[in-house]
Amino acid sequence: MNHGPLLFLSALFSLSLSWFGFVFIPTWQLGGDQPEESVETGQTYPSPRPGLAQQGAEVYRANGCYYCHSQQVTQEPSDFDLTLTATGPNLAALGRVLSEEVRPDLAQAAAVNALGRLPMEIKGLDREFTEYLTNKLMEAGATLKVATVVAAPAAAKPGEVPAHPGDSFTVILTSAGKTPADVAKLLLRIRPSLGGGLTVPVVLARGLSKDDLDKLNKKLTTAGAKTLVKMNLRGVDMDRGWGRRRSVALDYLYDPVVMVGAQRMGPDLSNIGDRQHSRVWHLSHLFDPRIITSEESNAGVDSLMPAYPYLFTKRPRSTPGTPGYQQAIRLVGEQFEIVPKPEAEALVAYLQSLRSGPGLVEAPTPKAPAPAAPPVATAPTAATATSVPAVTPAKPAAVVTPAPEAPKPAPPAK
């Protein structure tokens, strides 16, 4: 029998299945992504990178920076804060939920608070319970002065405990004594509504997981209370300052090649443009990372990052008027200067263009937008601000400071 057609068809079937899985479905899901309006700023995001930065992306790729640097901010499951905003009509139910499950301390504090408004009447008790309660309250230190007996309809003479069952008693608490907390604890058991009388709004819990939040919230709302939930966006990357929100597909919309990276020998660079604006800093760091991150400045560990001296021309210090004088970087204490090649400038433009995007529907930001970048990062001022730069060698803070008395730059040579 000839199995040829069958083999052909099954091969075709498996191949088209993988094509569907690996090509068609991702394209269908993400291929139609369009710039989107940010929920935070109301502006369209993202916009294409400037041309120089686009060229810099190629330099970044060619030099294998993505081997050591990721460009993807991750975000662990968030946690939640739960605030009680209104106690609602059913204080007893709320007090029960609070004292039994959510915040016994708050319920007790509310009850202690209520003890400030004595005397308090506890009505409708039967004989046995009245005895039990008065004993307990007195044990807890309450100067429970009177346990007035109110005769049930047509019962005994005043001042006498009626003998027959069905009578009702009222305990009047006049003073909570020295340990109101103990008295409050006792009272909470018979009068849960005391525990519900909180002053709102009050934060009931912080850092809850989604499951715990849902459980508590359900109990509270069932008890008639109103709550407010605040989501805290959390994640190790964000705590390190590597981004204001997690990365989403839209962040890479205009990147012909996406370089998310797979290893983190160095820090994530998703928002390096927010963290480090200075062109001089970047260029010095690229020329020799140990100028910035050295044993002295980095707790005894030299930077692991390779140097990229071939992106620069090293030459003796020039005088104003020499071509390239304005672009050159003169490192403090060195007799030479380095002139960045166009690749280096492009690479730095790319690094400066890496910024944390604004909040989106699928990835909101927890905080208000950061204040505008210092003027150094903008193109026109950058030319003058960094024209005669000098870089201090590794200092503890690893920052680059321009020479304080920089001579005025000469007019550019023709």
Say whether residue 306 binds ligand HEC (CB under 6 A): yes
Q: Identify the residue among 347, 349, 360, 400 touching ligand HEC (CB under 6 A).
A: 347
User: Would you say 117 and 166 are in contact if contact means Cβ atoms under 8 Å apart?
Assistant: no
Q: Which of 21, 26, 51, 64 binds ligand HEC (CB under 6 A)?
A: 64
Among 275, 277, 341, 395, binds ligand HEC (CB under 6 A): 275
- Dist CA 20 CA 2 (whole Å): 29
CB 94 within 8 A of CB 221: no
Provide the minimum distance between the beta carbon of 306 and ligand HEC in the complex, in angstroms, as a whole number. Answer: 6
- Choose which of 53, 65, 84, 142 interacts with ligand HEC (CB under 6 A): 65
Q: Does 304 bind ligand HEC (CB under 6 A)?
A: yes
Closest approach, Cβ 66 to ligand HEC, in A, equals: 8
Shortest distance, CB of residue 72 to ligand HEC, whole angstroms? 15
191 forms part of the interface with ligand HEC (CB under 6 A): no
Beta carbon nearer to ligand HEC, 78 or 401: 401
How big is the site for ligand HEC, counted in residues (CB under 6 A)?
Answer: 24
Contact 278, 400 (CB under 8 A): yes
Among 39, 58, 61, 68, binds ligand HEC (CB under 6 A): 68
Work out which of 28, 67, 132, 336 binds ligand HEC, going by CB under 6 A: 67
User: Would you put residue 274 in left (φ > 0), alpha (ψ -120 to 50) or beta?
Assistant: alpha
- Considering only 82, 216, 351, 390, the residue that binds ligand HEC (CB under 6 A) is 351
Q: Name the residue with the smallest CB distance to ligand HEC.
A: 266
Q: Is 174:143 a contact under the CB 8 Å cutoff?
A: yes
Q: What is the closest distance, in whole angstroms, from the C-beta atom of residue 400 to ligand HEC in the complex?
A: 12
Q: What span, in angstroms and rounded, lies between the C-alpha atoms of 135 and 144?
A: 9
**For ligand HEC, which stretch binds (CB under 6 A), given 62-70, 170-178, 186-194, 198-206?**
62-70
Q: How far apart are CA 67 and CA 51, in angstroms?
A: 24
Give me 70's structure tokens. Answer: 């990721």
Q: Does 52 bind ligand HEC (CB under 6 A)?
A: no
Instruction: Give the Cα-Cα-Cα angle 106, 108, 111 (nearest 5 degrees).
Output: 115
CB 82 within 8 A of CB 175: no
84 binds ligand HEC (CB under 6 A): no
395 lines the binding site for ligand HEC (CB under 6 A): no
281 scored as a contact of ligand HEC (CB under 6 A):
no
312 touches ligand HEC by CB under 6 A: no
Between CA 247 and CA 251 the distance in angstroms is 7
Site for ligand HEC in 241-270 (CB under 6 A): 265-267, 269
Q: Is 289 in the site for ligand HEC (CB under 6 A)?
A: yes
- Per CB under 6 A, the list member of 193, 247, 271, 293 interacting with ligand HEC is 293
How far is the C-alpha of 261 from the C-alpha of 254, rounded, in Å? 17
Q: Roughly how many angstroms between the first and final C-alpha of the chain, as a whole number?
A: 83
Separation in Å, CA 224 to CA 84, 89, 94, 210: 11, 7, 7, 21
- From the list 314, 319, 333, 327, the residue with the least C-alpha distance to 393 is 333
Residue pair 196/87 in contact (Cβ under 8 Å)? The answer is: yes
Q: Which residues bind ligand HEC (CB under 6 A)?
A: 60, 63-65, 67-69, 265-267, 269, 272, 275-276, 289, 292-293, 303-306, 308, 347, 351
